Amino acid sequence: MKRSLKSISTIIGIGTLLSKSVGLVRQITIAAVFGVSAAYDAYNYAYILPGFFLVLIGGINGPLHNSIVSVLSKKNRQEGAHILSSINTSILIPLILISAILFCAADPIIQLIGPGLEEQTHQIATQQLKIMSPIIFISGLIGTGFGSLNARNEFLIPSISPIISSLILISSVSLFGLYKSGEIESMNIALKGGLLIAQATLIGAIMQWAIQIPILRKKGLLKFKLALDWSNSGVKEVWKIIFPATLSSGMLQINVFTDLFFASNIVGAASGLSYANFLVQAPLGLISNALLLPLLPLLSRLGGKKDSQELVKRIRQGFIFSSASMICLGSIFIALSELITKIIFGRGVFDYNAINLVKGLLIFYGIGMPAYLIRDLLVRVFYALGDANTPFKISTIGIALNIILDWIFIGGRLPGGSNFPINLGANGLVLATVGVNLFTCIVLLSKLKSKIKLIPLKDWLIDFIKLLFCGLLSGLISWKLNSLYLQDLSFIWSLLQLISSTIAGLISFLILSNLFKIQEVAEIAKIFQGKIMPRQHAK
């Protein structure tokens, strides 16, 4: 039976919420045991390339996932299985070779990624990269599995599979924290902890694929068959999307590499960026999955039929909901950054300096949240229209811009020997990413308008500005309410303080957006019921 957009979004939302909740416990556990230390700094560098492939090839909403969903959702079971076999064969063989290269060349690769790392951190990262190198091959199995399941309207398993890897990390790190004999700063303890977290990450990736096997077999999609059918129209269509899409998404991951390259000379920056990024990515990923996963097959079908009127309505729904949700959450992160950081991470070896570092990063991440999700939406709209070249070209420009902004915002050295007058430290790296995402959104919107003439871009931008004003006022309300409380409260009172300030911000945002007559915000449920928007908004 065909599921409605609402039921699909509910399944994805619940599954993703569970995954993010367990992921939060994972990060809290890591922060309490490792804090901002050499072991966790090293892990963030060693995980760059395995994580790059796990997100790019194995991730939900990644280019491999999106291309498979776009094509297989329009194919029958037999043809879909044939296309999947061909894609698997052509992807997994090179991934095996890349895994081998990373294992053999771990030391020079870490030197390239983090040239400014201390010797202890470099040694730990090298060993961690060797352990995690098979993740690259496993990511191919995960990605094709997720894509084929979503194309067959199976959303629960892909949504909850990250829980497995998080639970493995939680149990491993907790046991290490209980039984470690010594301080995490000592080389022996740091090395043991670093190797353990790398091993747990590898086992978690393996289990993410293993959990797919029963349902893949049930759907007739688990076929290990060597096949290279380049003449098949479906295979051609997948590669038409996946190659430029991979390069485009890869550019975004290269921006992460660029940030860590510059961060290698800032002590603790890699750990701080990881903790702050998780706090933002948890709600962002939840909303992104609930919105984009069910919307992508729908956009693909509408784009294929060239149903422009309906397509414009759906794109607007995504644009307004992405803008509203991220502006609202971003304002809360900015207003309550210190309180959020203390409550989530402020225990164990995570001291005042670590809290101060992460809280500053969280403010800058909060500023960039709307641009991040809108960019994700727009990229997938272009994929649905069969155009992956435009996002790729824009992302390429974004890499150069990111390097320049990174260099500027951390006080890069000028030709004369002096440093650039602006030096925001690790915060500057986040601000550079915000700038790149904002640039990408502006250009993509402009290109989309030229591609779909019916889009009333001016009206959309006016509504976006209204939402920004709502976010500013609601953020001020959250901040003011938070400032009324006494400082140094117990954990329970601090948690109540956070909850009450957050609720005040959310309610005020909804009230203000209603006053500005942004109807989508007031009728979020209707967006996921697949209902056509009111006529006055279908401009």
Mean pLDDT of 423-429: 88
Q: Which pLDDT tens digit goes with each residue over 13-31?
A: 677 678 778 888 998 999 8
What region does 268 belong to: left with phi over 0, alpha with psi -120 to 50, or beta? left
Annotate 284-302 with DSSP letters as a single string: HHHHHHHHHHHHHHHHHHH
Same domain, 51 and 91: yes
Q: State the Cα–Cα distance between residues 21 and 17, nearest whole angstrom.
A: 6
Closest among 151, 170, 154 to 162, alpha carbons compared = 170
Quick one: pLDDT at residue 392?
80
Q: In this model, does residue 510 exceed pLDDT 60?
A: yes
Q: In this model, does residue 246 exceed pLDDT 50?
A: yes
Q: State the Cα–Cα distance between residues 22 and 165, nearest whole angstrom.
A: 10
Q: Is residue 80 part of a domain?
A: yes
Mean pLDDT of 295-321: 75
Q: State the Cα–Cα distance between residues 475 and 472, nearest whole angstrom.
A: 5
Cα distances (Å, whole numbers) of residue 517 to 418, 462, 530: 52, 12, 21
Provide the pLDDT confidence category of residue 473 given band limits of 50, 70 and 90.
very high
- Which of 198, 222, 246 is the endpoint of a domain? 222
Top-confidence range, 127-131, 368-372, 385-389: 127-131
Quick one: pLDDT at residue 55?
78
How large is the angle between the packed helices 491-515 and 457-483, nearest 10 degrees? Answer: 150
Q: Is residue 328 part of a domain?
A: yes
Same domain, 407 and 270: yes
Question: Which amino acid, 169?
Answer: L
485 phi/psi in degrees, rounded to 5 = -80, 160
Quick one: pLDDT at residue 271?
85
Q: Is residue 271 part of a domain?
A: yes
Cβ atoms within 10 Å of 411's Cβ, excluding its own: 16
Euclidean distance between the first and final Cα of the chain, in Å? Answer: 34
Provide the pLDDT confidence category of residue 533 given band limits of 50, 70 and 90.
very low
Q: In this model, does residue 81 exceed pLDDT 70?
A: no
413 phi/psi in degrees, rounded to 5 = -75, 130
Same domain, 330 and 427: yes
Same domain, 283 and 419: yes
Give the HSE-up count for residue 196: Cα atoms under 13 Å, Cβ half-sphere.
22
Same domain, 156 and 268: no
Quick one: pLDDT at residue 538?
37
Least confident of 31-40, 99-108, 524-533: 524-533
Let me know: does 319 contact 404? Beta carbons within 8 Å: no
Quick one: pLDDT at residue 340?
92
Mean pLDDT of 389-394: 84
Alpha-carbon dihedral 431, 434, 438, 444, rounded to 10 degrees? 140
Top-confidence range, 74-83, 305-314, 471-480, 484-493: 471-480
Distance of CA 211 to the CA centre of its chain: 22
- Which of 222, 254, 277 is the endpoint of a domain? 222
Quick one: pLDDT at residue 285?
75
Quick one: pLDDT at residue 99?
93
Q: Which pLDDT tens digit goes with each residue over 124-175?
A: 999 999 999 999 989 888 887 777 776 666 666 766 778 888 999 999 999 9
Three-state secondary-structure class, residue 419? strand
Provide the pLDDT confidence category of residue 79 given band limits of 50, 70 and 90.
low
Top-confidence range, 330-334, 453-457, 535-539: 330-334
Cβ atoms within 10 Å of 39's Cβ, excluding its own: 30
> Between residues 297 and 263, which one has the greater pLDDT?
263
Q: Is residue 29 part of a domain?
A: no
Q: In this model, does residue 525 exceed pLDDT 50?
A: no
Same domain, 243 and 218: no
Q: In this model, does residue 528 exceed pLDDT 50?
A: no
Same domain, 211 and 260: no
Total count of residues recorded for the chain: 539
Q: In this model, does residue 310 exceed pLDDT 70?
A: yes
> What percent of the chain is modeled with pLDDT above 90?
26
Q: For every residue of 440-482, which 3-state class applies, written as one string?
A: HHHHHHHHHHHHCCCCCHHHHHHHHHHHHHHHHHHHHHHHHHH
Same domain, 454 and 386: yes
Same domain, 281 and 139: no
> Between residues 313 and 220, which one has the greater pLDDT?
313
Please report which residue ranges of 152-232 form alpha helices under DSSP H. Answer: 156-160, 162-179, 187-210, 213-218
Mean pLDDT of 374-391: 83
Q: State the Cα–Cα distance between residues 512 and 160, nearest whole angstrom.
A: 35
Q: Is residue 247 part of a domain?
A: yes
Closest among 376, 382, 280, 387 to 337, alpha carbons compared = 280
Q: State the Cα–Cα distance between residues 36 and 286, nearest whole angstrom.
A: 26
Quick one: pLDDT at residue 365?
92
Q: Name residue, tokens 């069910």.
A: 294
Return the DSSP state at 147.
H
Same domain, 213 and 252: no
Q: State the Cα–Cα distance between residues 353 and 36, nearest whole angstrom.
A: 9
Provide the pLDDT confidence category of residue 534 given band limits of 50, 70 and 90.
very low
Q: In this model, does residue 1 exceed pLDDT 50?
A: no
Question: Which amino acid, 11?
Answer: I
Top-confidence range, 285-294, 323-332, 409-418: 323-332
Closest among 227, 248, 256 to 45, alpha carbons compared = 256
Average pLDDT, the chain: 80
Mean pLDDT of 283-287: 78
Provide the pLDDT confidence category of residue 537 given band limits of 50, 70 and 90.
very low
Quick one: pLDDT at residue 206?
92
Domain that holds residue 54: 37-222
Quick one: pLDDT at residue 299?
75
Q: Is residue 25 part of a domain?
A: no
Please give the tally of structural domains in the chain.
Answer: 2
Q: In this model, does residue 384 exceed pLDDT 60?
A: yes
Provide the pLDDT confidence category of residue 527 given band limits of 50, 70 and 90.
very low
How large is the angle between the packed helices 106-113 and 119-132, nearest 10 degrees? Answer: 120
> What percent of the chain is modeled with pLDDT above 70?
76
Q: State the Cα–Cα distance between residues 176 and 285, nearest whole angstrom.
A: 29
Same domain, 372 and 252: yes
- Which of 222, 255, 281 is the endpoint of a domain? 222
Q: State the Cα–Cα distance between residues 35 and 355, nearest whole angstrom.
A: 10
Quick one: pLDDT at residue 233?
65
Cβ atoms within 10 Å of 442's Cβ, excluding its own: 13
Let me know: does 519 contact 459? Beta carbons within 8 Å: no
Closest among 159, 205, 157, 164 to 16, alpha carbons compared = 159
Least confident of 53-62, 241-250, 336-345, 479-488: 241-250
Q: Is residue 109 part of a domain?
A: yes
Provide the pLDDT confidence category of residue 536 given band limits of 50, 70 and 90.
very low
Same domain, 427 and 285: yes
Cα distances (Å, whole numbers) of residue 67 to 60, 151, 296: 11, 10, 10
Quick one: pLDDT at residue 72?
66
Q: Is residue 322 part of a domain?
A: yes
Provide the pLDDT confidence category of residue 523 given band limits of 50, 70 and 90.
low
Mean pLDDT of 247-260: 71
Sequence-ordered list of residues with C-beta below 8 angstroms from that of 253, at least 6 positions apart, any chain: 52, 55, 56
Q: State the Cα–Cα distance between residues 442 and 446, nearest whole angstrom.
A: 6
Top-confidence range, 299-303, 334-338, 389-393: 334-338
Give the HSE-up count for residue 381: Cα atoms under 13 Å, Cβ half-sphere.
26
